[in-house]
A and B are shown apart, each in its own frame.
Chain A
């Protein structure tokens, strides 16, 4: 239950009021954390570096940062969040990466957060603010109003095939989708991004 303390050294108090014997802390070897030599050494190094710091003036303190410090899970009560707040991730939700042709970074969407394709399209609109939904009867397309480029949502399914988003029932899509790519329309039509035959294939 206690947080880690090991091999803590302390200066001998020199106030008159305190009568304490000479220090020989190393004898006590107060190891309260999980057993393991490396952890003891880490804590020791961390603390000895701290006591070496001089006050006043600038000093580089980056040496204190121990990259191999114990994971936060081993530090009791840190970060200071109440226990019922510790698992607030959307962990049950299925997240897939969304790539947009030409964009330098990907986003992730939680597919289970949405109830249908329409909402998914809205999510794309939100995540990639330069895109807008283009209303074309039953087709699902996004468009960059600045240069008129159209994007067609495609996805890679469990079999590794690239499919057009929207063909299968929503729940089936959520279950089989591995990742999503908003493909520039010219590529989709020419099939340069994927095999022609697979664009029109529906698999179950």
Chain B
């Protein structure tokens, strides 16, 4: 059947589809559409770098301008993935450099990035514009120097929460004087001091600079100098926000902040001196995003600021804000969409901090647009959860961490099954859920029954038996990412739902009851899955097959097993010598 639809028209229509999901769907319609999408798709997203390999990518998509890759599983953020597991970007960079000399954007998350990789990026792509490294590690400031020195058209250098070997701040001085295209610079995670004059000159010659996030070493007294050079900033992160109070410094800072008419987002505020917080008073009503999660000061200071942020959409703050502060948020920040409350002292527990479930309930009552919550607290009740679910039926992301594992409803001492059950029942748009507290298999029954849009689920210290896992795997139709730790889930549910695993991106289970034997069986029976047993015990070769593994990471792949895995990672059930020929 020949299509009477000119390809150019189809291509033009497809160019309006930017979402990866839509593009993927389009490519499945028919061969012509597959081919057209192939030739014109130039933004690529790879959610698991081991699900596919560079050769397959390059064969399918001949013209790529932007690529996003993710490496380690999410629990790597909490030190559950041992060092050396994998996620190396170098092999990708080598192939990308060869195939796509006009590549412009690279975004990486949880990958190991070496200086070599950065040097190759710097030298291989003439029109390189955007580098975003999120939770990456493995590189030093030398690699950054290479990027600065060579990427003449760079627009974005965004280091989000990376672990960088910080040799010196000299890398910043490698941006040549002729370099004026910078739009976004985030160096907040770096430790070394950069040359302030180099920084000031860089800011001064970057008229398009919209985002600037400084690191801790830039002192408060110098902020005015920088902000005077960049009143057009939209997103600003301060350095260490502490200094002895001086009225001249104060008024100078207040003045420059007032001149930043486009400022919408603030962050930084390390080691905050509360006396300097009010300098931002005049911009509070402009702010849509405020990150005070490094501002270690007391509730009244935090509350005074948030009370003025009437247009705030995103608030990230420490539990120092307390219930009273959150009550103020509920009254003042009527446009709030996202709330994140981190614990100031996750281990010892400062009992003076009056942050309980009441704060969260208050915000859920007052802020009708709230759709994303990440909340750390020390007590929770089913009634509070039920209230929250009724107040916020449009929740898309609900992540609750009650610090004590297996903590029950503090009022009734019952499990929190009904509370979380209410969340999944009332919040039909929920795509992400993290649970904590005392939970039985019943909560999983609720989740399997009601959470039909759930995309990602995180479980810890919960459940009674395999039934819990079975409910989730068999009930959650849209589930793609499941991560579990310290739950009594074993072989039965896993093997019974093996085919489900091919419809998911990945499953992580650590400190559970999945046996070596089951992993081997799964790996053997399911060629489309890599079943990685991650086990660092010395005697692991003599552990019987029926014994549980330490950790297992299962993900679908069209690339076959990987060959860059360390000793303590075993790809189960695959013949090591087999070569997969995938056309």
Binding site for B on A (CB under 8 A): 1-5, 8, 10-13, 15, 17-21, 23, 25, 28, 30, 32, 47, 50-51, 53, 55-56, 58-62, 64-65, 69, 71-73, 75-86, 88-90, 93, 108-110, 113-116, 119, 123, 126-127
Show 22 residue pairs from A and B whose CB-CB distance is below 8 angstroms, ordered by the A residue: A1-B79, A1-B82, A3-B485, A10-B513, A10-B515, A13-B491, A13-B495, A13-B518, A15-B495, A18-B495, A20-B517, A23-B546, A25-B547, A50-B488, A58-B414, A61-B440, A72-B404, A76-B79, A81-B346, A88-B345, A115-B244, A115-B245
- A53 vs B464: C-alpha distance in the bound complex, in angstroms? 7
- A13 vs B515: C-alpha distance in the bound complex, in angstroms? 10
- A69 vs B274: C-alpha distance in the bound complex, in angstroms? 38
Residue of B with least CB distance to A112: B273
Number of inter-chain CB pairs below 8 Å: 183
Cross-chain contact A64 with B438 (CB below 8 angstroms) = yes
Residue of B with least CB distance to A86: B346
B167 at the interface (CB under 8 A from A): no
Cross-chain contact B298 with A110 (CB below 8 angstroms) = yes
Q: Given the complex, which residues of A lie within 8 Å of B536, measured CB to CB?
A: 1-2
Residue of A with least CB distance to B487: A50
Q: Mask for B150-186, Cβ within 8 A of A = 1, else 0?
A: 0000000000010000000000000000000000000
Known: A62-B413, A116-B245. A12 touches B546 (CB 8 A): yes
Enumerate B262-283 residues with CB–CB distance to A below 8 Å: 273-275
B343 at the interface (CB under 8 A from A): yes
Cross-chain contact B347 with A86 (CB below 8 angstroms) = yes
Cross-chain contact A77 with B488 (CB below 8 angstroms) = no
Residue of A with least CB distance to B543: A28
B96 to chain A, nearest CB (A): 29
- A111 vs B552: C-alpha distance in the bound complex, in angstroms? 49
B341 to chain A, nearest CB (A): 12
Binding site for A on B (CB under 8 A): 75, 77-80, 82, 161, 189, 244-245, 273-275, 293-294, 296-298, 300-301, 318, 342-347, 350, 352, 376, 401, 403-408, 413-415, 434, 438, 440-442, 458, 460, 464-465, 467, 485-486, 488, 490-492, 495-496, 510-511, 513, 515, 517-518, 521, 525, 536-537, 543-548, 550-551
Q: Given the complex, which residues of B lie within 8 Å of A51, measured CB to CB?
A: 464-465, 488
Known: A60-B413, A77-B79, A79-B343. A20 touches B515 (CB 8 A): yes
- A153 vs B548: C-alpha distance in the bound complex, in angstroms? 62
Q: Which of B274, B300, B467, B485 contacts A77 (CB 8 A)?
A: B485
- A60 vs B412: C-alpha distance in the bound complex, in angstroms? 10
Q: Given the complex, which residues of A lie within 8 Å of B244, measured CB to CB?
A: 115
- A109 vs B344: C-alpha distance in the bound complex, in angstroms? 16
Cross-chain contact B403 with A72 (CB below 8 angstroms) = yes
- A151 vs B434: C-alpha distance in the bound complex, in angstroms? 48
- A4 vs B343: C-alpha distance in the bound complex, in angstroms? 23
B183 to chain A, nearest CB (A): 26
B520 to chain A, nearest CB (A): 10
Cross-chain contact B548 with A17 (CB below 8 angstroms) = no
Cross-chain contact B79 with A88 (CB below 8 angstroms) = no
A19 to chain B, nearest CB (A): 8
Cross-chain contact B550 with A65 (CB below 8 angstroms) = no
Q: Which of B376, B415, B546, B551 contacts A79 (CB 8 A)?
A: B376
Cross-chain contact A47 with B488 (CB below 8 angstroms) = yes
- A4 vs B79: C-alpha distance in the bound complex, in angstroms? 14
Nearest 3 CB-CB pairings of A with B: A126-B300, A77-B78, A115-B245
